[in-house]
Chain A
Amino acid sequence: MLKDGISPLSLSLMVMAGWTFCGLLGYGLSRMSGRVLTSVFYWSALLGLLLVYSGIWSVADDRNDALRLPLGLPGLPFHLRQDLLSGYFLVVLGSVAAAVSFYSCGFFKKETPRRFGWLSLWIPVFLAAMTGVLVADDAFVFLLFWEAMALVSFFLVITDFSGARIREAGFLYLLLAHLGTSLLLISFVLLSLGSPKSGLGALSFDSLRNGSLAPGMMIAVFFLSLAGFGAKAGILPLHIWLPEAHPAAPAPVSALMSGVMLKMAIYGLVRMDLGLLGIKHLVPVMGAVILVLGAVSALFGVLHALMQHEPKRLLAYHSIENIGIILIGFGLSILFFTTHHPIPATIALSASLFHTLNHALFKSLLFLGVGSVIAETGSHDINHLGGLMRRMPYTGFFFLIGSLSISGLPPFNGFVSEWLTFQSALWATDLGETFYRSLVVLAAALLALASALTAMCFVKVVGVSFLGNPRGPGAGNARETGIHERLGMGFLAAGCIGLGIFPVPVLAGIDRVIRSVIGAGLPIPPLSQTWLWLVPVSPRQAQYSPVLLAGSFALVIGLTWVVVRLFSGKNAKGVFPTWNSGYPFRTARMQDSADAFGQPIRHFFSPFFLIDRHLPDPSDPQPEYRLKVEDPHWKFLYRPVTRMILFLSGLAERLRNPRISVYLVYSFITLFLLLILLR
Chain B
Amino acid sequence: MSGGAGSVLGSFFQIVLVGVLGPLLVGWVNWVRGVLSNRKPPSVIQPFRDLFKLFRKETIRPSGTSALFGLAPYVVFSAMVVASLLIPVVSTVSGGRAMGDAIVLVGLFALARVFMALAAMDTGTPFGGMGGRREMMVGFLAEPATILVLFTTYLLSHSTMTGVTSEVVREGSVLPTPSLVFGALAYFLILLGENSRIPIDNPATHLELTMIHEAMLLEYSGRNLALMEWGSSIKLLLYLLLGISFFLPWGMSGSPGWQGDLLALAALGGKLVVAGAALALFETLMAKLRIFRVPEFMTLAFLLAILGFLSHFILEV
A interface with B by C-beta (< 8 Å): 386-387, 389-390, 393, 396, 400, 404, 407-410, 415, 419, 422-423, 426, 428-429, 434, 437, 441, 444-446, 448-449, 451-453, 455-456, 458-460, 462-464, 466-469, 530, 533, 535, 539-545, 548-549, 552-553, 556-557, 560-561, 564, 567-572, 575-581, 586, 588, 590-592, 596-597, 599-600, 603-604
Contacts and interface: CB of A to CB of B under 8 A. Distances in A.
Given A569-B55, A569-B223, A448 B118 contact: no
Contacts of B137: 456, 600
A541 B160 contact: yes
Contacts of B59: 568-572
B114 interface: yes
B64 A469 contact: yes
A455 B130 contact: no
B6 to A, nearest CB: 16
B110 A575 contact: no
A452 B101 contact: no
Given A419-B103, A569-B58, A452 B144 contact: yes
A557 B78 contact: yes
A553 B136 contact: no
B122 A467 contact: yes
Interface in B43-91: 55-64, 66-68, 74-75, 77-79, 81-82, 85
Given A467-B118, A535-B1, 20 more contacts: A407-B110, A410-B104, A415-B107, A446-B144, A449-B144, A451-B143, A452-B143, A463-B118, A467-B124, A469-B64, A545-B99, A545-B100, A564-B227, A576-B61, A576-B62, A578-B219, A591-B126, A591-B129, A592-B130, A603-B292
Nearest to A576: B60
B45 to A, nearest CB: 19
Given A533-B1, A545-B98, A553-B82, A575 B124 contact: no
Given A467-B66, A541-B158, A549 B74 contact: no
A429 B312 CA distance: 10
A408 B106 CA distance: 11
Nearest to A457: B136
Contact of B107 (A409, A468, A561): A409
B58 A448 contact: no
Contacts of A580: 125
**Pairs of residues from A and B, 9 with the lowest C-beta to C-beta distance, nearest first:** A592-B129, A463-B121, A468-B124, A452-B140, A452-B143, A456-B136, A389-B66, A469-B124, A448-B147
A312 B143 CA distance: 27
Given A459-B136, A592-B129, A441 B121 contact: no
B124 A404 contact: no
B121 A539 contact: no
A557 B75 contact: yes
B192 interface: no
B143 A540 contact: no
Interface stretch (B148-156, B169-177, B255-263): B148-156
A462 B119 CA distance: 11
B111 interface: yes
Given A409-B114, A560-B78, A564-B227, A444 B151 contact: yes
A interface SS class: helix
Contacts of B111: 404, 409-410
Contacts of B96: 548, 552
Contacts of B99: 544-545, 548-549, 552
A567 B227 CA distance: 13
A542 B58 contact: no
B68 A434 contact: no
A452 B55 CA distance: 33
A249 to B, nearest CB: 29
21 contacts: A404-B114, A408-B110, A444-B147, A448-B143, A448-B147, A449-B140, A452-B139, A452-B140, A453-B140, A463-B122, A540-B161, A542-B101, A542-B159, A543-B100, A543-B101, A570-B59, A571-B58, A578-B219, A591-B121, A592-B130, A592-B133
Nearest to B57: A569
Contacts of A576: 60-63
A463 B130 CA distance: 12
A56 B25 CA distance: 53
Nearest to B70: A571
Contacts of A604: 295
B110 A455 contact: yes
B309 interface: yes
Contact of A434 (B127, B159, B313): B313
A455 B57 CA distance: 34
